[in-house]
Amino acid sequence: MKSSPTYSTANNARLFAALISITLLAAAFSLLLGPVGVAPIDVLAALFGGEDGSTAARIVLYARLPRTAGCVLAGAALAVSGALTQSVLANPLAAPSTIGVNAGAGLAAALCCAAVPTAQALLPFAAFAGAMAAALMVLLIAERTGAAKITLVLAGVAISNILAALVDAVVTFAPDALNAYSDFRIGSLDNLTLSRLAAPAAVAAAALAAAFSLTNELDVLMLGGETAESLGLRAGRMRIVLLAVAAALAGSAVSFAGLLGFVGLIVPHIIRRFTGDEARLLLPASALGGAALLLVCDTASRTLFAPYELPVGITLALIGGPFFIWLLLRQRRRRRA
């Protein structure tokens, strides 16, 4: 019996070592690979030597480095947002892209672009507000109707479609609201700059810090509302707080990466197979897994069909769509059993 904790600790250490290694390797390939080949020595020279006027340095510093950083930021934020959403709603099918959170963030971002086109720094905060509003709508449905888990997902799909239609309306009446609306809706990390990532990174960093500091409360909440209340946790208030954190994470990612789907659905499910539901392991492992997944998908999107580039949202949809169908079928088999 005494060897079990040691075995578990060793497994967790190996898991995090593997996730860190995969993420670093994926980041290295993201910097190295592209339509124009850059030698590893030139990448290192650009990263540690700065701009020297060479073509390789400009490619690395102004194209690939911001894109790699954006993948890490968006992937980690969306994966942790998905893990929080699934845990708070006790629904394995919940994710920012399936319950309307991403769509709410997208609508708010579109409205912000239409009202104040030059205020790019406001986008992550507007996206957070939209994501929070959508999350509260889902929570209201859950608490007022006592809806089943699958019903909540269907309600989220309906909310997403309504909000997407409103985004279309904004673009119709203000065509310049989103200059690259197609890329925004599909999800793309093209044309990023480090300065554009500054505000979303600040929001995401604060939200990640909040999420990691609330792991004990999340574990208690997952025991059930009544049990959590009996242990002194105000379950209703904590659900709102955790959903606000999830909304901030999703909003920060959507503000620069567009409506990327499935990261928050796929990654927590895979990670839970190794960590279980313990939040102190699940959340940081999901962050690493999300960053690695988005790095791999983005690198594949811009190298497999070079010189043409496929938006990363399409690659994610091709992976996430079948996964979501498999998950629905798995849930159905469980209910029959």
Amino acid at 279: A
pLDDT tens for 240-258 read 888 889 888 988 898 888 8
pLDDT recorded at residue 93: 75
How do residues 257-310 score in pLDDT, each as one tens digit? 888 878 998 899 889 888 888 899 999 999 999 999 999 999 998 888 877 788
Using CA atoms, how far residue 161 sits from 20, 94, 98, 189, 297, in Å, is 36, 16, 10, 23, 25
State the chain's mean pLDDT as an integer.
83
Amino acid identity at 92: P
pLDDT tens readout for residues 123-158: 778 888 888 888 778 777 766 766 555 666 677 778
Could you please report the per-residue DSSP string of 299-314? Answer: HHHHHTTTTS---HHH
pLDDT single digits (tens) 46-98: 888 877 678 888 888 988 999 999 999 999 999 999 999 888 888 777 788 77
Give the pLDDT score at 337.
Answer: 58
Note the CATH architecture for domain 67-336: Orthogonal Bundle (1.10)
Amino acid 7: pLDDT: 44
| CA angle at 320 for the pair 17 and 136, rounded to the nearest 5° | 95
Give the Å distances, CA to CA, from 69 to 5, 56, 61.
36, 18, 11
Q: Write the Ramachandran bin of 187: left for phi over 0, alpha for psi from -120 to 50, otherwise beta.
A: left
The tens digit of pLDDT for each residue in 202-226 reads: 989 999 999 999 999 998 888 887 7
Residue 331: what pLDDT? 63
